[in-house]
Structure 1
Amino acid sequence: MGYKNNRMGYQKQLLGSRSVVKKDNFAIIPHDGLVKNTIPGFENVDVSILGTPRLGAHFVDYIASFQKGGKHTGFGGEGIETVAYVVSGKLKVSDGKEDNILETGGYAYFPASVKMVMENAQDDPTEVYLYKKRYEPLEGYEARKIIGNTKDQTPEEYEGMKDVLLWDFLPKELGFDMNVHILSFEPGASHAYIETHFQEHGAYLISGQGMYVLDNDWYPVEKGDYLFMASYVPQAAYAVGRGEPLAYVYSKDANRDPEI
């Protein structure tokens, strides 16, 4: 199986972890605890499973390191929508009709039932955050393929705060039942208040360090960690550290009325 950080064998320090898992509520999975998984469809890819229904999520997400020649033969499936975000490197994605090259900051959304074929487009490893979810159709609306790069966007000042920036991956249209964003906090910045809401999140930290409140307790987090936040979990972040913002790529369900 192995570990994402390749830290194995005899250790000099006592065993310990920042991991906190409260199923159906929230989870913090530090980068040192992430294991490599063997999953059909991934070839020459070091992939770690993150959020799943076993944790309480209504989606599945992963962090994957595509090695030289690494590929996936068809991510997704019938009724499943998918997202890929390139944390670093270069990735080729294809829907079988058109190929697109995603470089660092690039992302692809494929609508339900359109499988995403992926291949590393460079010799060095390419790190990719992946997400899949069963699409919730809405009569009269539909989703469509989206290709973009955050480097081509002007970020939004989150709730008017100049040191908290937001990038949206998908348009605000009812055809989409979810979105993926990047939220970035300069050191010392924070949410304006502790959020409590219906939407759930999976979040992979792509830079920096911070303190995150989850269910009214504060936890240290840093680049490479994964967070799961179920519906109604109180949540907020403070950025700490020096030299780089606390930033994370995260998913959110959207644009649908809760079922009774």
Structure 2
Amino acid sequence: MGYLNHQQGYREGLLELRSVVKKDNYAVLTPDGLVNNVVPGFDDCDITILGSPRIGARFVDYLVTLKNNGGNTQGFGGNGIQTFIYVVYGNITVTVDGKDYDLTEGGYVYAPPHLEMTFVNNNKGQDSRVFLYKKRYQEAKGVGQPEVITGNKNDLTWKAYEGMEEVQVTDFLPADLAYDMNIHILSFKPGASHGYIETHVQEHGAYVLSGRGVYNLDNDWMPVDKGDYIFMAAYTPQATYAVGLDEEFSYIYSKDANRDIEL
């Protein structure tokens, strides 16, 4: 059963799937093959675990559909684990350190590693969907401590990606060494692309918010679509072309940053 597209029972044709998984290298996960996981603390939610250490990542990404009054009131993160939540659609309330944040589509909250977050659906009987991230924080001397960050993507500053006006990027977290990672959205107009095939030490987990692209992952060209998830390990060659007629190819993604490599 592909629970995100509500497919159940036998298919008319042969079983087939666009998903490709090459552990410790890259993965493309499509909605058709995702299943509903059961995770303690998440009540009345459909939750699927996307990127994780079992695929080669040093973080965990989730896609969570909050139903009715569903959410996580037990507490998510803290004790050295930093977290980030982004609203794909709907309306939720996130609580960190006793303060409530009401988020609509495009809204987000980052909780530093010493604080837990809780969250509940607040969409008047309709579902909300969130992209959820966690990663163990990497301490560094003399850089200060990260703080709670919140906002909405519509209020952020967008800039040309490496001088290309057809490719826009925005950053969710400040350019501050206290943060050992960042979350971005990268958006390509149809026909736009990266300027080169990137090969770097940072790893990414990316969820496609809109549009379509053809992604080079370790020199395999993979079609990707809205709702797909992409994992890119350290040093995996990567670049994309946006395809389609009029919708921008846009994805939210994480990147480790501001730290040396531990031995």
Q: Which residue of 2 aligns with 1:218?
A: 221
Counting matched residue pairs gives: 260
Q: Which residue of 2 aligns with 1:173?
A: 176
Question: 1:27-106 maps to which residues of 2 (within 5 A)?
Answer: 27-73=27-73, 74-106=75-107
Q: Distance in 1 between matches of 2:60 and 2:41?
A: 15
Question: 1:136-215 maps to which residues of 2 (within 5 A)?
Answer: 136-140=138-142, 141-215=144-218
Letter in 2 for 1:69: N
1:4 to partner: Cα distance: 2.2
Question: 1:111-122 maps to which residues of 2 (within 5 A)?
Answer: 111-122=112-123
1:3 to partner: Cα distance: 2.1
Percent identity of equivalent pairs: 55
Q: Distance in 1 between matches of 2:141 and 2:103?
A: 32
Deviates more, 1:173-182 or 1:113-122: 113-122
Deviates more, 1:57-66 or 1:68-77: 68-77
Q: Contact 2:200/2:235 (CA < 8 Å) preserved in 1? A: yes
Report the TM-score when normalising by structure 1. Answer: 0.97
Question: 1:227-242 maps to which residues of 2 (within 5 A)?
Answer: 227-242=230-245
Q: Contact 1:24/1:57 (CA < 8 Å) preserved in 2? A: yes
Q: Distance in 2 between matches of 1:68 and 1:163?
A: 39
1:96 to partner: Cα distance: 3.9
SS in 1 for 2:165: coil
**Structure 2: runs of 5+ lacking an equivalent:** none
Deviates more, 1:139-148 or 1:223-232: 139-148
Q: Distance in 2 between matches of 1:204 and 1:14?
A: 27
1:217 to partner: Cα distance: 1.1
Q: Contact 1:4/1:48 (CA < 8 Å) preserved in 2? A: no
Q: Contact 1:51/1:60 (CA < 8 Å) preserved in 2? A: yes
Letter in 1 for 2:79: E
Q: CA RMSD in A?
A: 1.1
1:180 to partner: Cα distance: 0.4
Q: Does residue 1:128 correspond to 2:130, yes or no?
A: yes
1:31 to partner: Cα distance: 1.1
1:2 to partner: Cα distance: 6.3
Report the TM-score when normalising by structure 2. Answer: 0.96
